[in-house]
Chain A
Amino acid sequence: MNARTILNYAILSFPFLLLIVFLVFPVFFVNALYLFTGPSFFETIMSPSIRFILQFTIGQAILSTLMAVLIGLPGAFLIARLRFRGKSLVRAMMIVPFVLPPIVVVVGFLEMFGSYGVIDSILMWIQGSSTSVFNLATGIPGIILAHTFYNIPLVILMVSASLERLNPEIEESAEILGASSRQRLRYITLPHVMPSLLASAVLTFMFCFMSFPIVLAFGQGRFITIEAQIWNAFRLFDYGEASSLTLMQIVITLSLAFTYVRLTKRENETGKTASMKTTSFNRYPLRERVAIAAYLSLIVVLVLGPIATIARASVYDPVAKVYTLEGFTNLFRLGGQGAFRYLVNSLFYAGLATVFAVILGILLALDMRSHHRFVPTFASSMILLPLGISSITVAYGLVLAIAVPTGLITNPWPIIIIAQTIIGLPFSARAIELAMSKIDPALLEQADSLGASRIQRFLFVELPLLAPGILVGAVFAFAMAIGEMSATLFIALPQNYTLAVAIYEYLGVRAYVEAGASAFFLVIVCVIAFLTIERISEGSTGGAL
């Protein structure tokens, strides 16, 4: 084995090494060290309050998934079959909710569905009431609605993509052979989209299962997920309970993540065609047109509403019932109680996390395309890990296994950056891998035969070709990192707060305009991020999902 091979191996194993040190070891450490302190694992998970939390976590995740699938499915069919202008833009916009930070969505929901929100104001005006008459942004309805909001686009994107791959000839043959439209749906369309429908349902369930900011904001401490209870247990220095919950959660989420990957793998094997038969709106019968219009208005209220109303939340103070610019003044106020330092922290942490996520993402993508027997499989499962291990678990492990022994706990900003890197990594790695798979291998062979060294080939051929993919991955990682609240809240001291954490704190003390203005800022950042992705990737936005 010569020096070059060793260097090659060293570079390829570098991301594994980092993930093992900063993800696998800490999670293993907290489980091993604290699982056996305090009451036993079974005693913890069988206690009435934990049983209730588990029931609630699963129950709300099932309900949210059902809602998202039921509302998302017609949308998927519409996107696939309806011909209209600006369709690619609409499809691209579906990604926006996905990159919106959950705590920002909370602000939007309060403004849309909460008391003195948009709907409430209209109802109050109709009824001539001076006090609030309507509030859905609280308790279980708030949690389910917010989760539904988040995951409808996911279902639409994944199922419509699969629908578009359905070869129209199959349906046409069925039609010629006299199959009714119901029979075609039953025997052709549904079996075809089933894997992607299941995959989107599994992913939705997993996101809802690990939900943290939304549950914290709407659950009023009574309705909480396992994820939130891990944080609570940690705050009450009950590491035994926290570790038991972590273990239980990891078993569930990793099996879900595994199921998801199996489902999408099977999906990708089917042929790709994009010759779906589409029909324009005017050619639908009247009854169906009414149904479509009703459906679209539901989507507007449920998905666009909360995003649009964040603008109102940034200037309207529902406590004092006045319009004010105080939120924005606060956002750019230096020193004292101003939020400017949170803004600086947000940009600094997310910026660095993006750089690391991209570097590691490139290396992991190289690993996934390596010709070695085990490396690609190992790399894909390593990428899967951050998806299946919740942010709180990552933070919990990092704090106890890394921050405390090294003394970083007094000023834990490097730990926050590590956590945000880990959380953004699956997205950057998948976007880059996707771009890498599109490189024509002939180009690389030409470079080789013209005598380029491995480094030259990488720098002058691969990297320029990868640039758009890298940028998409970077934007995704940045959006994930700047909106990340759970792990950051877990790790941060007040001096390390980011805007996302600050919004949560503001909501707690009913400083609504301060929360609204910060949320509005994050929305702007995410929209810019989205526009960048859209510009670069030209329609293949969903690739990183």
Chain B
Amino acid sequence: MTQYPVRRDPRKMIAVASVSIIIIIAVYAAVTWWRPRFVVYTYGSFFDYGDEGAETVLGRVFAPFERQYGVDVDIVLLDVDANGIISKLVAEKSRPLADVVIGIDNILILQDAAKSVLEPYTSPMLSLVNETFVDLLDPEHYLTPFDFGLITLIYSTSSINTTTHPQLGNLTFADLADAEFASSLVTENPSYSSPGLSFLLSQIAVYEKLLHQDWTTWWDDVRDQINVQEGWDQAWEVWSGDPSRNLLVSYGTDPAYSAYYYGSPPDTAAAPFFYDNQHWAWMQVEGVGLVKNGPNPELGKAFIDYCLNATVQSEIALNQWVYPIRTDLSLPSVYQYAVNPNEVSLLNLLLNRTEISTNLNNWLDSWTATRIP
């Protein structure tokens, strides 16, 4: 006897499927739902270079602020450099979600796009900050200084040192253009990375202001030898993983980092540039700024004040591995190995602010052109 198959009602199956899909969506949406809260945008590595990792440190640092004002502080770690943060703020301009942004530096603030998304604010806590930093970062107070670092070259002393290569003690760009050095150098793309941009401006400052030469010639000379990575993290990995790439554009505090984690004396040393009988480095000052038309402007101002408190500032040295902007706080002892800001001349001072802001895009275009094979 033949049997017809039992006819299941597809309507039931479709109904069951739809209900389960809706439940899954609802659960996912509920878990990731955007609740109104106090939002801070910053870059991905913020406070992430210490023993404990960003999550722990950020929780500890901002807990008192959350208690005092009864808000949840949501530090959104964007996986981009400061440039990308500005891009995001510009995209959200008509409807800002962030209240405060941390990490825009003294070069990026010179772009009109950056100023167009920020609201000037003069914090009363600025009295605790050396005025030089305010002048270096932004005298118009779109940004309040937060930390600073010196951009310089670093190398690992196990593969090269001042005995094998005496030039490292008094390094010039001409030395760096030498085939051996150029093919050891790792740097970052100035369009996407703030240390990379600082290095480009350092080189422009030296060539245009100290040597009075066309700066692009140096980049043409090293074009096929240097290794340009997109960001600092990638460049660091190449530098630490590839023994033939032992020169890196990085921070003058890296020897201190090395001493802290791998024992002193550190196996990493810095090589500031040497011209006119003095050492030079570029000072990067990072700031915290109030987002224009952000949802909680008053809270945002309080947050900026809070960022200059010792609670926050004292965590910078060992978690961010740059100098806290408050020079009155004591530094960890390993900082004796870092490049001392008082012992170098600042390349920043060779280029004035209007010069940078008018030429920045052209410089970046010319730099991109030098990379065309």
Contacts and interface: CB of A to CB of B under 8 A. Distances in A.
B237 A409 contact: no
Interface stretch (A47-55, A244-252, A285-293, A476-484): A47-55
B76 A493 contact: yes
A407 B94 contact: no
Interface string B142-184: 0000000000000000000000000000000000000000000
B32 A411 contact: yes
B215 to A, nearest CB: 17
Contact of A510 (B28, B88, B238): B238
A509 B234 contact: yes
Most A CB within 10 A of own CB, among B21, B86, B368: B368
Given A48-B369, A413-B32, A405 B84 contact: no
A539 interface: no
B221 interface: no
Contact of B87 (A52, A237, A336, A505): A237
A495 B32 contact: yes
Interface string B23-41: 0110010001110000100
A47 B189 CA distance: 20
Contacts of A407: 34, 95, 97
B128 interface: no
B10 A52 contact: no
Interface in A300-321: 319
Interface in A370-399: 399
A89 to B, nearest CB: 31
B87 A49 contact: no
Interface stretch (A228-236, A273-281, A439-447): A228-236
B11 A508 contact: no
A102 to B, nearest CB: 18
Interface residues of A, number: 39
B79 interface: yes
A49 B368 contact: yes
Contacts of A459: 10-11
A409 B76 CA distance: 13
B21 A355 contact: yes
Identify whether the interface residues of A are mostly helix, strand, loop, or mixed.
helix
A29 interface: no
A222 B191 CA distance: 12
A49 B191 CA distance: 14
A232 B113 CA distance: 16
A399 B90 CA distance: 12
A314 B233 CA distance: 22
A115 B125 CA distance: 53
A221 B83 contact: no
A265 to B, nearest CB: 34
B77 interface: yes
A495 B75 CA distance: 13
27 contacts: A48-B369, A49-B369, A220-B228, A221-B229, A221-B230, A236-B83, A236-B87, A237-B87, A237-B91, A319-B241, A336-B55, A348-B28, A352-B21, A355-B21, A400-B91, A404-B91, A409-B88, A410-B97, A459-B11, A460-B10, A494-B77, A494-B78, A508-B231, A509-B234, A510-B234, A510-B238, A510-B241
Given A336-B53, A410-B34, A493-B79, 11 more contacts: A48-B372, A49-B369, A49-B372, A222-B373, A352-B24, A355-B21, A407-B34, A409-B91, A411-B32, A495-B32, A510-B237
